Structure 1
């Protein structure tokens, strides 16, 4: 630990502006209103992902939804991607800076400006002001990642000069004003993207989602009244804050640093890794996530919007580690109360707080590394809660080409699955998106049905998982055969420094992109590419990182090692070398005497 004074940090927690009277709420009514808030956010998300056209929203559930007060304080959020939910308060603050005082019933606001609260520009945000008895009392809001926003390249872009080159920016635009739809403005937006039909469907789904939230919250007000509902919401926010602060106080005060991490490159300057430095400062019941020492901003889109992406990551990491639902008996809702104890700081001009107008389209691999590093920093003092290094990237790949009509593009964005590191009492989860992403896999049938690509392979990687008392998870490997010439864009990170083991566990395994593997045309691609062309007949293999192990492998239950060998995760030689477990594979039993002898010899050495 290093004793450092923390710099001034920034929090996403909002300020209260009361236009209602605080009243006592009995416990039963409090529970009922809390349940209603929780349910309406989930229902909003269901509407969005069921109605959306783009694969990322519809299949991967890359979305967020919730109800917020007039200053953007979060009253409730959906069970979906933490990044999308956690960024909506910043969207609202960005919109309020321009529109506060102008809202009318029937307004619908579209926003995606990454320097005014948006998580990044492809995440369209829809916000609808909620009125009660003629007074503006809150917002219903949602976000989702659309297929294309009209930038330099289809779907995903890396090597672009600035934020305008990423695509069309919508800064607090009323696409409905007092109930009147601005058809010309909406048409202008759709005329400037490559996937107008998909974006039109996504936009309507986002509007329907927010309108449902507006309606459900109004129904709650009709039943209980503004004073009771808002007083109950205040109690829930205070309760969530109190529960998180209790857990923070259990951590000894101090400064905890993660090992320095490195991202592969910036998508243009090859062979130059980018530094990720994370320090967690605990001071009583307050937390500061300090990114001082991280890389300077880069001349590509591989920068991170601070308010819309860095702050939600800090909050989500601390809340997830300390209030894990599996380990917490009490229900603790996610709301503004969880934002209050957590602040984040990143120097201006760094990749985590770039100067305008630097591009910041591709930011997820960086923030997942921040989440991962927060885990690793706290692992020594929270061995029962923290996890070993995870894949901690987001392997988003955009496949695209000119549509048969010659007037638009087909664009398909898939999420490939990495894995979690091991944790106390549990092996790492295999083949699953990790940390801030929480997105689902894209089924191969979806792409094969609609586009000229065919899946050759989709399974767990064949390499053994990272050894540990609780082993690391295994990443996925997916192989595509291109049936037509296809553009490829990627913002992934192969983890050139593999996921770290924790408390004696071994490191995980890096990922890789390989074109035409096992042939005389084999070519290793960079993890971040902009408009790479895969010719018809080319094969693309995508290997995702496998997570690190947790704890001393020689402390692993020998029966668990035997099970892993039986499941073909390991060989008998792996078991002997990495775990000190001697197996009889004829009888499928553990040679307990030989195992004790081998482990004792290792301990003596």
Structure 2
């Protein structure tokens, strides 16, 4: 009998009482969050240390997620795919106690190449029972441009590729691999230190999992994990069953592939609901691109879909009893994307710049389901991401590299306005303190505030307002920027108005010219004093603007989020700005006239 079979058999026919089940569930969640905390606090690069661009958790020997940290969905949700990829590529072809593996190959399960997974097997009484694992986004893995890469011909140009490689074998370090890593990154010191933080995290996860087993027994803990996954599956199926059976579709457009300007890329989402299961079909979406603007199917496309339905159907804020975040919630969902499409590229197509497409996929799932789930969905969000890599050479000839994730805005919601200046649907990262930036790098943030050049989408509940951020380079360097939605505005819903598209500019200190930049570009050479400014999209509105509470319109005008003209022409609200009040009689007459003329 194999080790896996023995583990499965050991937990058969054990039914735990609800209290013990909840105790073990709480222990799982605590372990995952403790693993993430260690990784977060021990890391050196700001993308992990400040932005918390990471994920951590425990997994059984079948690669099922037992628990996940409350961090970035794209990280934690992808680890089962990493584990399946490691199974196919594992050095030695076998796990040993004390092994630690590094893995990031996009065609063997990774989310994309900068997200390195660190995995440690967990043995109990000589048998493999599971894994402690995490992933984190690293500053630089030696790609063609510092930090990020978009316009490259294939996956080999993305930097170092690891497929089931052992950093430690039976507890002993693989010095050759460590030296290889040190010699192939522009930010080797940060890269190595961050990997060491990941190793500390998985070692802690292993220790805590074994402590849990010693306390409650292997059979009990594994039985609990199976019952918790079954429970999450039942809850997801109940939510899906409440959606009317049918086929629901939506379509949007991405700006370009980072090379062929002006050539939009269609994204087509079809959700098929049948009973208590569903399929998300991406047939009709663009063919794979000649750049890195593709999405690894196993490690990113499927994960984005799973994240979308956990948000939509199992949001903990909307549940009387929160549903555990584990593999069970994925089981009722099937994802289809034609091989050779942007969401399922063929090796060796590059796939590093894959995040904005995932956000738009989620945005379109919401749009597709809006007719049958009006009280659960929101209007169009920024559904992009501004991921910028700033870099340059120090006086000693070494590189500095800074990665930054900027905020966006959500669409209006059934009962409230869209949140302003917030992450992009599934980023869940924090911002970098501008003080930290100025202390450590030759850069200076000169503007960081809510966007004021365009308005959010009007509606009974208006869209959220995006961010505008200006970063000035204080030395010569390079900028690579991955963003979206410069041409396809966030959509309004149920008579709500569309939001506003994003923008990006670079201002030259030398000739005082301001250039409008495309939404994504690679390795742009900039001079000391040049400044990049990013304007994120504003969200779409939800519901008829004529139903918006007039005092909310007044507040938006006073705050500079709405003009007097828009208040009058779109919202039908007449204001007395001298007294800062709503003219109620004139507003009622104006709205009656507008409603009767539609």
Q: Confirm or deny: 8 A CA contact 2:455 2:500 kept in the other structure.
A: no
Matches of 1:273 and 1:448 in 2, distance apart? Answer: 37
In the alignment, which residue of structure 2 is the partner of 1:144?
136
Matches of 1:313 and 1:287 in 2, distance apart? Answer: 15
In the alignment, which residue of structure 2 is the partner of 1:21?
11
In the alignment, which residue of structure 2 is the partner of 1:585?
577
SS of the aligned residue for 2:271 comes to strand
1:15 Cα deviation from its structure 2 partner: 12
In the alignment, which residue of structure 1 is the partner of 2:523?
531
In the alignment, which residue of structure 1 is the partner of 2:418?
428
State which of 243, 253, 261 in structure 2 corresponds to 1:251: 243
Structure 1: give runs of 5+ residues left out of the alignment: 1-13
State which of 171, 184, 192 in structure 2 corresponds to 1:179: 171
The 1:299–1:16 alpha-carbon spacing in structure 2 relative to 1, beyond 3 Å, is: farther
- Corresponding position: 1:122 with 2:114: yes
Q: Confirm or deny: 8 A CA contact 1:509 1:546 kept in the other structure.
A: yes
Q: Equivalences for 1:75-474 in 2 at 5 Å?
A: 75-99=66-90, 102-258=94-250, 260-406=251-397, 408-462=398-452, 463-474=454-465
Q: Equivalences for 1:512-591 in 2 at 5 Å?
A: 512-516=503-507, 521-591=513-583
Q: Confirm or deny: 8 A CA contact 1:488 1:531 kept in the other structure.
A: yes
1:573 Cα deviation from its structure 2 partner: 2.2
Once the two structures are superposed, what CA deviation does each residue of 1:141-170 show, in whole Å capped at 9, x if it has no partner? 100000011111111111111101110100
Once the two structures are superposed, what CA deviation does each residue of 1:413-441 show, in whole Å capped at 9, x if it has no partner? 00111111111101111111121211111
Matches of 1:369 and 1:17 in 2, distance apart? Answer: 40
Q: Confirm or deny: 8 A CA contact 1:517 1:541 kept in the other structure.
A: no
SS of the aligned residue for 1:18 comes to helix
Q: Confirm or deny: 8 A CA contact 2:181 2:192 kept in the other structure.
A: no
Moved over 4 A (4+): 14-17, 517-520
Q: Equivalences for 1:469-488 in 2 at 5 Å?
A: 469-488=460-479
Matches of 1:446 and 1:161 in 2, distance apart? Answer: 35
Q: In terms of mean alpha carbon deviation, does 324-333 or 164-173 score higher?
A: 324-333
SS of the aligned residue for 1:457 comes to strand
Q: Confirm or deny: 8 A CA contact 1:301 1:361 kept in the other structure.
A: yes
SS of the aligned residue for 1:405 comes to coil
Once the two structures are superposed, what CA deviation does each residue of 1:247-297 show, in whole Å capped at 9, x if it has no partner? 111110001011x21111111111111111111111111111110000011
The 1:283–1:494 alpha-carbon spacing in structure 2 relative to 1, beyond 3 Å, is: same
1:16 Cα deviation from its structure 2 partner: 11
Q: CA RMSD in A?
A: 1.6
Once the two structures are superposed, what CA deviation does each residue of 1:180-226 show, in whole Å capped at 9, x if it has no partner? 11122111122111111000111001111111111111110000001
